[in-house]
Amino acid sequence: MKPHVAPKFDYHEVCTVLAALRVFQAHQLTDYLPNDPDTRIKDMEHFEDCEPLTGEEIDALCERIRIPPES
């Protein structure tokens, strides 16, 4: 198992990561990359030694990394 990594992101980066997770989640239903319909999501190099998160796991991850609105 790979070590846990917890980088610090600024607000702009967190917004981008959350948006990317939601796009990824939406395309899991088709199982293929939106910009490369011949490549399955599970065949991406990022998933050589692990499975992609499920939709529910992505929801939980987004909640964990979400930045609360400023008061």
Q: Is residue 42 part of a domain?
A: yes
Q: Is residue 28 part of a domain?
A: yes
The whole model's pTM is what?
Answer: 0.72
Domain count, the chain: 1
Q: Say what the pLDDT of residue 41 is.
A: 77
Q: Say what the pLDDT of residue 44 is.
A: 78
Q: Say what the pLDDT of residue 19 is.
A: 93
Residue 47 lies in domain: 21-65
Torsion of CA 22, 36, 9, 6, to 10 degrees: 90
Q: Is residue 9 part of a domain?
A: no
User: What are the residue ranges in the chain where pLDDT is below 70?
Assistant: 1-6, 29-30, 32-34, 67-71
Asked if 55 contacts 28 with a C-beta cutoff of 8 angstroms, the reply is: yes
The amino acid present at 25, given as its one-letter code, is Q
Q: Is residue 27 part of a domain?
A: yes
Q: Is residue 11 part of a domain?
A: no
Q: Is residue 15 part of a domain?
A: no
Q: Which residues pair with 32 in a beta bridge?
A: 40
Q: Say what the pLDDT of residue 16 is.
A: 93
